[in-house]
Structure 1
Amino acid sequence: MKTINIDSNNITNIFNEMQQDLGGSLKSRPQEYHLILDNDLASGTITGVCFKSHICFMQYDITFKEDTLVINNMPSTNPIHFMYCAKGKIAHSFGNEEKQRVLNQFQTGIFSSDPSKETTLFFKKDEHVKISNIMVTTTEEASTEDNIDKLRNQLLKTFMPKNGEQTFAYTGSYNLKIAEQMHQLEAITQKGLVRHLLTQGIVHLMLAMEIQQHKEDQKNSKNNFGSLTKDEVDNIRELAEFVRNYPEIQYNLKYLSSKSGLSPAKLQEGFKLLYNRTVTDYIRNVRVETAEHMIKTTDLNISEIVYSVGLTSRSYFSKIFKERYNCSPKYYQDNQNTLVATA
């Protein structure tokens, strides 16, 4: 088992130590680091950035080649860890304690402890994991501005151990909106100060969403950001598979909502973040893909295929087929032998 120790809150030191442990290529911008890995230990990237608000953000988009522990031990700063798992799953514990808390895909977790405890993340061998970890320093010396004092005081009150306890641990319900913010981070193309400010804004928004998630979970109600439970995520996946198996059905939101037991808003949210499409776009895409497969594998004519996939207008089908495959269905069918020969 590979063990990586992080014992500094300095972003430069963190990534220099990680490169020493894991190898790889380290690229940097001011206060932002990217460790790119493709070796016998791991493949993927680890990114990190720190802000003057004494908030550091790290993201692991990585597959370790052996079981790996990442141990955070920062007694001088004692941060609160706000974690989110966007892909795969990880386990967390304090130090070497036997109890592990699993964060599944789309699940949040908040962990803090007194300075004597370490925060340990368990990465399983050959599992592609994508997680974010927002670390908020809570020591007195970290606060330099009134708004930082207010943030620190709120976090201390809510997320630090109380009543003689040494640890605080919370795993939240499932939230797809935070995954969307991670996509926004990856989409930033600007450089310099603009990039830093955009990144800081999104990270602060992710932090706010995790705090809100905890607040609403404590009230045992749906949170304001539309989080989905694991059962709801599973229902959406099952519904998407049903559509793929039966594209000929005349679907509408009312029917799909009734079949899944989810509101139309929940359906739209789930399809957008699981498949990056609206419900309607997903159904249309399934029909086009099914039709393309039928053109290649059956002797049906185009009109028969159109009706077989649940469409009624051949002209509309030709339009969406051409948008997807850059040729008409008839041309595609007539030139199958040529297309196969040149593929």
Structure 2
Amino acid sequence: MDDFVPELAEQLEIGYQNELGEFSLQIPASLGNGHVYGINFPNGIGLYTYKCSFKEKTQFRICHPVVKPLRILYLLSGELTSQFHNSEHVQKLKHHQHLIAAPLDQETHIINFPANTEVNLTYLEVDRLKFQQYLSFDLHELEPVYYRIFNDVKAERRICQVGKFNMQTSEVLKKIKSSELEGFPRVTYLGGKTLEILSYMLYRFKKEDHEFFSNNIREKDLEAIEKAAKHIEENIAMAATVHDVAKVAGVNTNKLQTGFQALYGKTVNEYIRDVRLSKALNMLSSGRKNVSEVVYELGLSSRSYFSKIFKEKYGISPRKLLNGAQIQEIPSD
């Protein structure tokens, strides 16, 4: 969010700098010392770095009226706590720990800094809607673990997971902190390092997800769910019922629904709808099809219904997107 550092500066009643989209400010001596940097890239990923110490306990309350972000915090030194304002749970973060945090819609994410403690913090902030539009493929083509994380553009599921980050991530974070590059080379360097950090976390997601399902879902059932998902993708124009999909997968409807909820966080019908919308987003963004052609290709009979569900998910009508408008973040109800 490009307005984070400027708004923080306003709250602190100080100025800030903007160098090719990288915003920065210095903590005033009356409050402590240190700095905050922030930059957002066209793919919807932002990089924020803090190195600061406050004279008194200080609380940062982060909430955006329309962006539904996923944040991945990395604490290189010091300590802090994190919480969501609608939850009583307070998560303590110590040296060399990471926190994956995704607040619910309209929920404030609170980061508490202790007094007289230098905190060396970096976090990635992913605007999941913008990130999805940036991809050159349909979101449902991703593995289920990534689909569950990045498809939640309405922030319907809260995430709060703590762990230790590996040495590879630590080294990249240190390189970012110590970089003396300036201008455009710095911006491109930070963009590359941000993706490198994200790639390490995505690998971790996949590894932990595989371990969970290996221990909780039989291999045969997992294969059946994946077969069903592939059938839906390859036959999206055919209005298949849950019973039809279950028959193709070789399982009963209850097991199919349970499996889809576990693997994708969706019912079968919700997954079918999301596959259609993901394909529609890809086709309309590329300009390959007009709205009527997209509706036909997706196996829908009502253009008005398609426009309604598309706008509900992406915050823009199909026609406006086709005419070159950019997807805007979903407005709050």
TM-score bracket for this pair, using the shorter chain length:
0.5 to 0.7
How far 1:42 moved relative to its partner? 2.5
**What is the CA–CA distance in structure 1 between the aligned matches of 2:194 and 2:44, rounded to whole Å?**
12
Q: Rate the CA distance shift 1:146–1:160 in 2: closer, same or farther, 3 A.
A: closer
Matches of 2:68 and 2:92, distance apart in 1: 22
- Aligned mates of 1:148, 1:22 — CA distance in 2: 42
Which residue number in structure 1 is paired with residue 202 of structure 2?
A: 211
1:74 aligned partner? 64
CA distance in 2, matches of 1:159, 1:173: 22
- Secondary structure (helix, strand or coil) at the match of 1:169 reads strand
Mapped to 2, the partners of 1:142 and 1:184 lie a distance apart of 28
Q: Which residue of 2 aligns with 1:45?
A: 35
The equivalent residue for 2:167 is 176
Contact in 2 for aligned 1:58/1:133 (Cα 8 Å): yes
Once the two structures are TM-superposed, the CA of residue 116 in structure 1 deviates from its matched residue by: 2.8
Q: Distance in 1 between matches of 2:46 and 2:19?
A: 15
Which residue in the other structure is 1:98 paired with?
88
Once the two structures are superposed, residues 128-164 of structure 1 have per-residue CA deviations (whole angstroms, 9 ceiling, x without a partner) of: 11111110011269614416957899645136779x9
Name the amino acid aligned to 1:180: E
CA contact (8 A) 1:112 1:161 kept: no
Q: Would you say the 8 A contact 1:112–1:167 is kept in 2?
A: yes
CA distance change for structure 1 residues 148 and 176 in 2, over 3 Å: closer, same or farther?
A: farther
Q: Does 1:189 align with 2:189?
A: no
Q: Structure 1 pair 152/34, CA: closer, same or farther in 2 (3 Å)?
A: farther
Number of equivalenced pairs: 210
Say whether 1:123 aligns with 2:107: no
Deviation, structure 1 residue 28 = 2.2
Q: Structure 1, residues 62-121: CA drift from partner, whole Å, max 9, x if none?
A: 111111111111241101001110011111111153211112111111111321322111
Counterpart Cα distance in 2 of 1:186 and 1:101: 25
| Equivalent residue, structure 2, for 1:21 | 11
In the aligned structure 2, how far is the partner of 1:36 from the partner of 1:151?
A: 40
Query: Counterpart in 2 of 1:87?
Result: 77
In the other structure, the counterpart of 1:275 is: none
For the structure 1 residues 152 and 142, does the alpha-carbon distance in structure 2 shift closer, same or farther, using more than 3 Å as the test?
farther
Aligned equivalent of 2:100, options 83, 107, 110: 110
Question: AA paired with 2:160?
Answer: A
Q: How far 1:58 moved relative to its partner?
A: 0.7
Q: Quick check: 165-174 or 80-89, which moved more?
A: 165-174
Q: Is the 8 A contact 1:44 1:62 kept in 2?
A: yes
- 1:1-343 equivalent positions in 2, closer than 5 A: 9=1, 11=2, 13-139=3-129, 143-146=133-136, 155-158=146-149, 166-218=157-209
Distance 1:48 1:148 in 2: 29
Q: Residue deviations 1:302-321, cap 9 Å, x none?
A: xxxxxxxxxxxxxxxxxxxx
Secondary structure at the aligned position of 1:116 is classed as coil
- Tell me how large the CA RMSD over aligned residues is: 3.0
What CA distance in whole angstroms lies between the structure 2 residues aligned with 1:153 and 1:55?
Answer: 21
Q: Give the TM-score, by structure 1 length.
A: 0.54
Gap runs ≥5 in structure 1: 1-8, 222-343
Matches of 1:136 and 1:151 in 2, distance apart?
17
State the secondary structure of the residue aligned to 1:53.
coil
Conserved in 2, the CA contact under 8 Å of 1:112 and 1:159? no
**1:205-227 Cα shifts (integer Å, max 9, x gaps):** 11111222343345669xxxxxx
What is the distance in 2 between the residues matched to 1:141 and 1:159? 8
SS in 1 for 2:27: strand
For 1:40 and 1:102, locate their aligned partners in 2 and report how far apart those are by CA, in whole Å: 27
Distance 1:60 1:155, change over 3 A: farther
Larger radius of gyration: 1
- Aligned AA (1:92): S
Larger relative contact order (C-alpha < 8 A, sep ≥ 6)?
2
Residues 220 and 155 (structure 1), Cα distance of their counterparts in 2 relative to 1, 3 Å cut:
closer
- C-alpha distance in structure 2 between counterparts of 1:125 and 1:96, whole Å: 24
